Every structure is written in structure tokens, then in C-alpha cells.
Copies of this chain bind each other. A is one copy, B any other.
Amino acid sequence: MEPHAKLYLLSDEDEGLFGDGKWRLLMAVREHGSIQEAARELGRGYRKAWGDIKSAEEAFGRAIVRKTRGGSSGGATELTEFGVQLLDAWEKFRSEVSSCMNEAFEEYLKPIIGGIDDER
């Protein structure tokens, strides 16, 4: 029994534009220089990964990655400057919220549900 937060950036229409899922994906892209590889690592299909990146870029209205096709390597994808900044900012954001959440959990909820375990 532990707390967890799913963090999002929402549009005015309450659509989820960005969250930990896309953050992890972009992390993997930065690391491997390829959407294909990134998707493989995360156990997601390329189709999904590609679509996620596209929708994120549409949401922000600007490029997060720079992609190239063809060549001996087949192609590649790297983060734009904005992409890198976004990742770093999100990292700090989520980390801060996460630790804050754990504190609040210990202070308010733990005393109430503390002794409860749930293995059934």
C-alpha cells in the first residue's frame, strides 16, 4: 500500500499532452538515438512510440526531435534543444512532486492506513 502519482500536462480541453510515458520514451530516444531502439527497450511497438512523439510535438507546437531517414544506419532520431530542456525540466518537476508526495503520505495517510497490508 503505497502512494503513486501520475503526472500530466493537460490542454485546455483536458487532453493528456505529456506525462511520464512520453518522458521515458524521450529519455530512451536520447540515449539510443533511435525511435526503433527506444521502443524496443520499453517493450512498446515502434508504431506507438512514433505516434506518441508526433502527438507530443503537435501539443507543444514545436519539434522535440529531429529525425533522418535512410543511410547505412537506416535512419536516426535525436532530441532538439527544446527536447533536452523539456526532459530536464520534467525530471526535476516529477522528482520534486514525488518527494513532496511521499512526505505528505507519511504525515497524513500513513497514520490512518499504516497497519494495513494487502496480500489477501
CB <8 Å contact, A11 and B5: no
CB <8 Å contact, B96 and A109: no
Q: Is A7 interfacial (CB 8 A cutoff)?
A: yes
The size bracket of the interface on A is 35 or more
CB <8 Å contact, B112 and A17: no
CB <8 Å contact, B96 and A104: yes
Contacts of A42 in B (CB 8 A): none
Contacts of A7 in B (CB 8 A): 3-5, 101
Interface residues of A in 1-32 (CB under 8 A from B): 1-12, 17
- Indicate the member of A96, A101, A113, A119 with the most B CB atoms within 10 Å: A113
CB <8 Å contact, A5 and B118: no
Who on chain B is nearest to A97 by CB? Answer: B101
Residues in chain A within 8 A of chain B (CB atoms)? 1-12, 17, 59-62, 82, 85-86, 89-90, 92-93, 96-97, 100-101, 104-105, 107-109, 111-113, 116, 118-119
